Amino acid sequence: MKKCTNFKCNIGDTSSPASDIPISENSSKRLRRVDGNEFIISSLEFDPRLCRQIWEYDVNHEDEIRRAYINASPYRPPISNYPKSGKESHLRSFQPSWYNLFPSWLEYSREKDAAFYLPCFLFNKPSGHFTQRVFTIDGFRNWKKVRNGKDCVFLNHIGKDPTSFHRVAEKSYEDLKNQSQHMQNVFEKLTSEQIANNRLQLKASIDVLAEVIAKAPKNATYTSPMVQKQILHVFSAKVKEIIHNEIGDAKFCIIVDEARDESMNEQMAIVLRFVDNNGFVRERFFGLVHVSDTAALTLKKGIYSVLSKHQLDIQNIRGQGYDGASNMRGGWNGLQALVSNDCTYAYYIHCFLHRLQLALVAASKEVISVNQFFTKLNVVVNFVCASCNRYEELRVAQAAENAYMIAIDEIKSGRGLIKLVCYNDLEMRVGSVSNLIKIYTPACEVIVKIIDVGISSSQRAEADSVHQIMTSFEFVFILHLMKETI
């Protein structure tokens, strides 16, 4: 795309043939609504003077409409002779050569004999300033001002300030047009080499820090638990300060979820979602707060405490994202209701991931083999973790497995014993599925040992049944399938 600085305001060239002008009519692409209904793109009006404004459509379809206009390209009907207007002594008309200077933006309305800017039209607002209306609703046709040197209307509308209406609309236009630049697609393009390089850089940083600590005075306590916690606290405070500076006085949303940690204490995670100064949506993990219980009022106090501590005004909250539990979504005493009472515009949205989880739960209940798998999983977990002796045997077996994997260079270091816990909630079951895969071999060894030297025939028989379950193709297949699915 040519830069606007190449625009010369003494333009009078009409040599560009009409046949070279792109035509954006007769589109036959289809657009699908959220509810599944379809309508034909060709039914949209493409003459910018006759188009409905984007804000007049259902808000859920605005981006779909915008993409339709982007895919159709700027409206430039083939015209041999453009209408002339102005003083009789010096009639002027729209010049098709201007298309070459603004190849992706400039449009011409045959109906109005006026010029429009496509990005400005696509991202205009109903409360737009008068100067915005010129290139979005009313149309510009004072051709004399196009040849007005540094006061050229086209250039002045575009502006040099990156926050000008046109520049912001142009940025939104390019973002919507270039789907490949979306964050999800960018993440997916990370190569294994890039991932390896990132890990190498992180490891080098850790190694340098470790070397400095190793050369510290003998009386230094850098590695003591207390000092390490202090260092982490400093890091945490610095990160939160940066996040606060990113948000500033802007509006933001809160995403909250609670869960129990391994010591069975209730923890509440808080994530902030906001738009930064460059117009990009950001999500930042902001804190993990211990709460005495999961009552809505307790969670509200915890959230307000964290926000006020870091000078984030609760009146700037514009959205709440939680799960669908009654203590969160309750219309009278739920967390969303308590926050909404203080912040009228803090709209509640049921977390999409939790909705997906509910869908997976409902779907899994309809699959007999999956239901049977989780029943069997409970049997395996309860048997392996039935006593302290078995748990100790599992720990020894896992330590031996880790040592072997380190010896053959499959892993770099061993971990402590991975705990097996199985709850009825699908989210908790996911942890049991993942953990069982990691300690599958040590668990089988413990079970085989019980089969051979169990203290009673009933215990050996039970161990044999569990071993048959664990080593069956169906169980192993669904075990790995569930890990990838949920």
Local confidence pLDDT in tens for the 486 residues of the chain? 333 333 333 333 333 333 333 333 433 333 444 343 344 455 778 888 788 888 887 777 778 888 888 887 788 888 878 888 877 777 888 888 777 777 668 888 888 888 888 888 888 877 655 556 777 787 887 887 776 666 777 777 777 777 778 888 888 887 777 765 554 455 555 566 677 777 777 677 777 766 666 666 666 666 677 877 887 888 888 899 999 999 988 999 999 988 777 666 788 999 999 998 888 899 999 988 888 888 899 999 999 999 988 889 989 999 999 988 888 888 888 899 999 999 889 999 888 878 887 787 788 778 888 888 888 888 888 888 777 788 788 888 888 877 777 776 666 555 555 555 544 455 556 677 888 888 888 889 889 989 988 888 888 999 999 999 999 999 999 988 888 876
Query: How many folded domains does the chain comprise?
Result: 4
176 and 204 both lie in a single domain: no
Q: Judging by beta carbons within 10 Å of its beta carbon (0-12, 13-18, 19+), is residue 470 exposed, middle or buried?
A: buried
206 and 255 both lie in a single domain: no
Q: Is 388 within a domain?
A: yes
* Tokens of residue 135, six digits: 């290139």
Q: Is 357 within a domain?
A: no
305 and 436 both lie in a single domain: no
Q: Is 268 within a domain?
A: yes
Q: Please name which of 481, 370, 353 lies closest in space to residue 427, comparing C-alpha atoms.
A: 353
Q: Is 358 within a domain?
A: no
User: d(Cα 294, Cα 326) in Å, to the nearest integer?
Assistant: 11
270 and 346 both lie in a single domain: yes
Q: Is 208 within a domain?
A: yes
203 and 235 both lie in a single domain: no
Residue 31's DSSP bridge partners are 39
29 and 157 both lie in a single domain: yes
* Tokens of residue 278, six digits: 């460059």
124, 55 contact by CB (below 8 A) = yes
Q: At what angle do helices 368-384 and 352-365 cross, to 10 degrees?
A: 100
84, 14 contact by CB (below 8 A) = no
320 and 390 both lie in a single domain: no
270 and 309 both lie in a single domain: yes
158, 164 contact by CB (below 8 A) = yes
pTM higher than 0.85: no
Q: Is 356 within a domain?
A: no
Q: Is 121 within a domain?
A: yes
Q: Look at residues 350, 383, 409 and tell me which one is the last residue of a structural domain.
A: 350
Report residue 173 CA to chain centroid gap. 20
402 and 345 both lie in a single domain: no
Q: Is 125 within a domain?
A: yes
CATH number reported for the structural domain that contains residue 312 in this entry: 3.30.420.40
User: d(Cα 436, Cα 303) in Å, to the nearest integer?
Assistant: 35
Q: Which domain holds residue 198?
A: 191-217
pLDDT at 222: 64
282 and 380 both lie in a single domain: no
354, 433 contact by CB (below 8 A) = no
Long-range contacts of 13-16 (CB under 8 A, 24+ apart): 13/95, 13/97, 14/95, 14/96, 14/97, 15/97, 16/96, 16/97, 16/99, 16/100
253 and 326 both lie in a single domain: yes
Amino acid occupying residue 203: K
199 and 297 both lie in a single domain: no
Q: Could you list the beta-strand ranges (E) of 19-85.
A: 30-32, 38-40, 84-85
